Amino acid sequence: CGSLPVPQEGEAAFAASNGNLACHGDTIWIFTGGLTSRCLRSLDAGKSWTSIGLPVTQGSSMTGVFSATFRNAREGWAMGGNWEVPEDNEGNLAATTDGGTTWKTMANGQGPGYRSSIVHHPTQTGALVATGFDGLDVSLDGGQSWAHHSDSSHYVARFSPDGRTLWLAGAKRMTRMNWPLQ
């Protein structure tokens, strides 16, 4: 691995969802939070890195990006928020269509609050699931709008390779759900 950018004061990488690292081909993205929230990106399998600031909630120890998902090498989403104020739904979701060079805030004030995990559906374009300790939400339009599905507490979500099953895990529980969700 090449030389990563120097961590900023108060910068952290959250591991609850095992989702702050994403890879596609030779491209690697690492997401941080805390006082500074950034995307560290390598286009050459980790030989060199760039640092990209993110337009998400940041500035205290439990804010920033907690999870990211990439549909391909260009289209991705980064989600998190403020763990200490989970109902705050401003600045907790950003999206890129250029592989992470630029990011824009999505569903600001309209989507779910803090979420520890976001995952894209492997075959249904635009379908996203986000989960956290206070609920599960679904978007079918690439994150522009969200529907609250459940108050169930989970920390991580993953789809089966064929997209028919959504697996969720949390404190002392694992849940299997059929897709589409009912």
- Among 8-22, 77-91, 108-122, 161-175, the minimum mean pLDDT is found in 8-22
Quick check: 98 and 74 in contact, CB under 8 A? yes
pLDDT category of residue 16 using cuts at 50, 70 and 90 = low
pLDDT tens digits, 43-52: 999 999 999 9
Calculate mean pLDDT across residues 2-15: 88
pLDDT category of residue 15 using cuts at 50, 70 and 90 = confident
In this prediction, residue 137 carries a pLDDT of 97
Task: Quickly tell me which residue has 């491209």 as its tokens.
Answer: 27
pTM: 0.95
pLDDT category of residue 18 using cuts at 50, 70 and 90 = confident
Q: Which residue has the higher pLDDT, 9 or 2?
A: 9
Percentage of the chain modeled with pLDDT above 70 = 98
Domain locations in the chain? Answer: 11-178
Instruction: Name the amino acid, one letter, at 157.
Output: A
Task: Please provide the average confidence, as pLDDT, over all residues in the chain.
Answer: 95
pLDDT tens digits, 151-164: 999 999 999 999 99
pLDDT tens digits, 74-114: 999 999 999 999 999 999 999 999 999 999 999 999 999 99
pLDDT category of residue 182 using cuts at 50, 70 and 90 = confident
Specify the CATH number of the domain 11-178.
2.130.10.10
Q: Which positions ≥6 away from 182 have C-beta within 8 Å? A: none
Task: Quickly tell me which residue has 């950018």 as its tokens.
Answer: 5
